Amino acid sequence: MKQITRNFSISIIAVLLLSVILTACSQEKTSDLTKANLIPKPVLIESAGGFFTLTEHTNIYIQDENQELIRIGQYLSDKLSPATGFKTKVLSSGKKPKSDYIFLSLNNDTKLGNEAYELYITKKGVVLEANKPEGLFRGVQTIRQLLPEKVEMKTLQPGPWEIATGKITDYPTYGYRSAMLDVVRHFFDVDDVKYYIDLLATYKINTLHLHLSDDQGWRIEIKSWPELTKIGGSTEVGGGEGGFFTQEQYKEIVHYADERYITIIPEIDMPGHTNAALASYAELNCDGKKKELYTGTDVGFSTLCTKKEITYQFIDDVIRELSAMTTGDYIHIGGDESHSTPIEDYIPFILKVQDIVESHGKKVMGWDEIAHTQLKPNTIVEYWAIKENALKAIEQDAKIIMAPGHKMYLDMQYDSTTPLGLHWAGYVSVKDAYNWDTDTLVPGITKKDIIGLESPLWTETITNLDELEYMVFPRIIGHAEIGWTPANQRNWDEYEERLRKHTKRLEAMGINYYRWYDIQKENETK
């Protein structure tokens, strides 16, 4: 009798344990679509309580013979194949079949904007609809995140590949959701930039601002001024060999980004941050003498000679060649920290440069200091440091990009123990990066003034992709959500839960993210 009771107790414990394990598993694999672990969080999710399973029979179908949609379908197929082992075909059948489909189609529904998409997931298949291809591309990122994390791995993984059924309706809060990469202080080559573009695309970021010139280097070939890259491109912070993009390489980056619905905004910083140009050409200096190359990290010591006519010939040539390779509307002219340019020279300089940019069919972006001058009607001001500058821009009816250093600079240390980065704008924890709203941060900068936000990564202390990932992830994911998800649907505690779960996906992607929350340790102590 005793033995029976004992066996009975063991059985009960076994059943309880099994149910705990099953509950734990079913938290990972829920049929409730509203519980899907998505970042950025979609605007609207409705659950239908079942599962669609991606199998070797599933194919991607395109509504018409539309090359752009076929390319998007192929992008998805390429993302799925390493881990699933499926050779998911992209077929332009015109109609969706009865089952086993991911169907991409344009619905000509303009009301939610160009990046909006709708996903209908049934047991038979997935329909992704959007007004524009870019909306489909954003929706494809959601499909990736709806699949188990291991779909991101580069090696074959066991299924099943299930997605909860239901409907997602989604569109961004801001049209400008950007990252900035400084390829000057340390050079990042074409493959590095493409790799970063792919990461940005995953989080529905739609702009990459490339900081292409500074005191320590000139990183873009300008055929009419070849010494810029020959001399100015030859070094970087710490004295490394630097590097530059040929025009062919730059076009390759722009094309790669365009195919991911990411616009490249090139920056030529001026009149300060120009030592590399001043070291390349004597005539750009007021005293007619070349500067020495510079590999330190000071700022504010260099300036183009704003009174010389050749300076404007130089800028015109650079902007002309750059504009011809740039598919986006904007050229960023920097304008920050020009401490060596007297304000009475700075103001007419920025006025002239705005004219030059417009004469080449582009619009101007600049750091917040450019608001000291009269802004052209389309000029956009990037608020990074001085709120009075942003307010001056708003007085002139200019639109603002939010990039406040103490919330958005990805080169700021997380805390005082972070081995990389700086802290002149403060420490920026994962929570600091997420837990704020663009339109209440600065009194006077309101929603109607803001076109979006940008996460800059300056690279004084960042020398390779591993270090880049450590500083960027996971803070940029929070920024991506601020840019996409309505503020009233965001909440730090709920987000942190989601982000903690999302670290499994970061691990599957092989991202060297900053472990703000040591999940492994928590699991070990359980």
Q: Toward ligand ACM, which CB reaches closer, 148 or 334? A: 334
Q: Closer to ligand ACM at the Cβ: 245 or 384? A: 384
Segments of 107-218 assigned E as strands:
117-121, 125-130, 161-170, 176-182, 207-211, 213-214, 217-218
List the one residue out of 164, 169, 170 whose CA is nearest residue 32.
Answer: 164
Q: Considering 68, 227, 252, 337, which one is annotated as catalytic?
A: 337
Contacting positions for ligand ACM (CB under 6 A): 336-337, 367, 384
Annotated catalytic residue 337: yes
Give the containing element (helix H, strand E) for 263. Answer: strand 263-270
Task: Between 190 and 425, name the residue whose CB sits nearer to ligand ACM.
Answer: 425
Tokens at 111, concatenated:
């009301």
Residue reference for tokens 């050749």: 310
Strand 117-121 versus strand 161-170 pairing type: antiparallel
* Nearer to ligand ACM among residue 231 and residue 425 (C-beta): 425
End-to-end CA distance of the chain: 35
Shortest gap between Cβ of 367 and ligand ACM (angstroms)?
5
CA distance 304 to 252: 30
Per-residue DSSP letters for 348-386?
A: HHHHHHHHHHHHTT-EEEEEGGGGGSPPPTT-EEEESS-
Minimum Å gap between C-beta 298 and ligand ACM is 12
- The nearest distance, CB 144 to ligand ACM, in angstroms, is 33
- On the 0-12 / 13-18 / 19+ scale of CB atoms within 10 A, 16 is exposed
User: 314 or 384: whose CB is closer to ligand ACM?
Assistant: 384
CB of 412 to ligand ACM, least distance (A): 11
Instruction: Work out the number of other CB atoms within 10 angstroms of the CB of residue 77.
Output: 19
User: How far apart (Å, rounded) are the C-alpha atoms in residues 382 and 365?
Assistant: 7
Smallest distance from ligand ACM to CB 405, Å: 7
Closest residue to bound ligand ACM by CB: 336
Contact 438, 453 (CB under 8 A): yes
Minimum Å distance from CB 409 to ligand ACM?
7
Helix crossing, 247-258 with 190-202: angle to 10°? Answer: 10
User: How many C-beta atoms lie closer than 10 Å to residue 332's C-beta?
Assistant: 23
State the nearest-atom distance from the C-beta of 384 to ligand ACM, in Å: 5
Q: Which is nearer to ligand ACM, 91 or 420 (by Cβ)? A: 420
- C-beta closer to ligand ACM: residue 170 or 336: 336
Torsion angle of the four alpha carbons 310, 311, 313, 318, in this order, in degrees rounded to the nearest 10 = 140
| Residues taking part in catalysis | 337
